[in-house]
A and B are shown apart, each in its own frame.
Chain A
Amino acid sequence: MPRTYEPIATRTLNTDTSTITFSSIPSTYTDLVLVVNAYSTSTGNDNIGLVINGDSGTNYSWTRMYGVSGVSGTTRTTSSNQIGQGTFGTGSTKYSPVIYNIMNYSNATTFKTVLGRANEPVGQVTTLVGLWRSTAAITSLTLNLYASGANYGAGSTFTLYGIKAA
């Protein structure tokens, strides 16, 4: 049986960096898993945003569920220009693990659905389902930050895996 759960690319930041892009993603897998352990240099709140194939149109939507101290909630955002996961850690003491499962990413027939989970260490845990309303095969993934002028801090890591089906 084929063994399959392979790292495609990984990046560890030596310096603060505003956006992270994985490009030229091969179409040979079934699903992608993007693993982030990072923080924002923002001095205020921040959020991590996922953009697919560089599409800056309002073709994204998501439903998320979260828990903070004493409160749980759920929100929806429609017709956005990226998928926003939720509260993201700010400062080097608040590395935030985020995992995106990008399902059936290389087919050219269906819209693309993403499952996300984030663990901001002192503020919020979040799960998310996101939709990119495009049938195009996914060839690049870009991670933005919402806060103006913010960067992903040095030491942040980003790894993209491919899962191959039989």
Chain B
Amino acid sequence: MAIRSLKSGTFSRSGMVGNPVIMPGSYDSIATTTVGAGGASSVTFSSIPSTYSHLQVRITTRSTFGANEWPIFVQLNGSGTGYAYHDLQGNGSAVSGSGSSSQSLMQLGDTSAANGTASSFGVFIIDILDYADTNKNKTSRTFYGYELNGSGKIGMRSGLWANTTAVSSLSFGTGGNFAQHSSFALYGVN
């Protein structure tokens, strides 16, 4: 993905999350959802145009599930098969890695939940690379974390959907509902 230097005006390198220089040549807002009163059991972006190179989803969210933390997940094109992930995380006490395959959904990481510090929301930045390329299985990378002033987690995760179909919809879910004020923003990157 080409990006433009503020200093020189030249285009270079990638603007995906975590890379050092970030001025994408094209970074378009496709759609945004903010969860209203009563929460939402799922959030779906559908009819995603195939005109971008990559997608980025930026999420601020909290689960209503009765725990301090709870995972969120995504399904691509409504599919319930072919997912895998690997995770690297730190929780203030230990660094650990984990992974799973042959899953019915793509786990993205943990967010704050109903028993956690009030008003605390977890955050996720998810890149889905070459999402419209019908020659490739789909791979994602996620940078996520939540913090509760006494517990919390920081993590990085890779995800696989073993399917070459172009991605045209993303459906996010969690245990319980996404709490009011959760926000999901989808961007297209060229």
* Residues of chain A whose beta carbon lies under 8 Å from any beta carbon of chain B: 1-5, 7, 10, 30-31, 33, 35, 37, 61-66, 72-76, 78-79, 97, 99, 101, 103-104, 107, 109-111, 113, 115, 117, 119, 127-131, 133, 135, 159, 161, 163-166
Contacts and interface: CB of A to CB of B under 8 A. Distances in A.
Instruction: List the 8 closest pairs (A to B, CB-CB), nearest first.
Output: A129-B145, A74-B90, A65-B90, A76-B92, A5-B27, A131-B147, A63-B152, A61-B149
A61 B28 contact: no
Given A1-B30, A30-B183, A35-B20, A76 B152 contact: yes
B147 A2 contact: no
Interface in B42-98: 58, 60, 88-95
A63 B147 contact: yes
B150 interface: yes
A161 B22 contact: yes
B154 A129 contact: yes
A30 B26 CA distance: 17
B166 to A, nearest CB: 18
Contacts of B145: 63, 113, 115, 127-129
A159 B5 CA distance: 11
B49 to A, nearest CB: 8
Interface in B18-40: 18, 20-24, 26-32
Interface stretch (B116-124, B127-135, B168-176): B116-124
B150 A111 contact: no
B2 interface: no
Contacts of A115: 123, 125, 143-145, 154
A107 B181 CA distance: 9
Given A30-B183, A110-B60, A115-B123, 11 more contacts: A5-B27, A63-B152, A66-B90, A74-B92, A74-B95, A74-B154, A113-B145, A133-B120, A159-B6, A163-B187, A166-B30
Nearest to B150: A78
B22 A33 contact: yes
B183 to A, nearest CB: 6
For the residues of B in contact with A, the DSSP-based class is: strand
Contacts of B154: 63-65, 74, 115, 127-129
A166 B122 CA distance: 21
Contacts of A133: 117, 119-120, 149
A65 B89 contact: yes
30 contacts: A1-B29, A3-B28, A4-B187, A5-B24, A7-B6, A7-B23, A33-B22, A63-B90, A63-B92, A63-B152, A64-B90, A64-B154, A65-B155, A76-B150, A78-B150, A97-B20, A113-B121, A113-B123, A115-B145, A117-B18, A127-B90, A127-B154, A129-B152, A129-B153, A131-B117, A131-B147, A133-B149, A135-B119, A165-B185, A166-B29
B156 interface: yes
B143 A127 contact: yes
A45 B50 CA distance: 48
Contacts of B125: 101, 115
- Give the interface centre of B144, B152, B154, B187 by most chain A CB atoms within 10 Å: B154
B123 A109 contact: no
B94 A111 contact: no
A130 B123 CA distance: 10
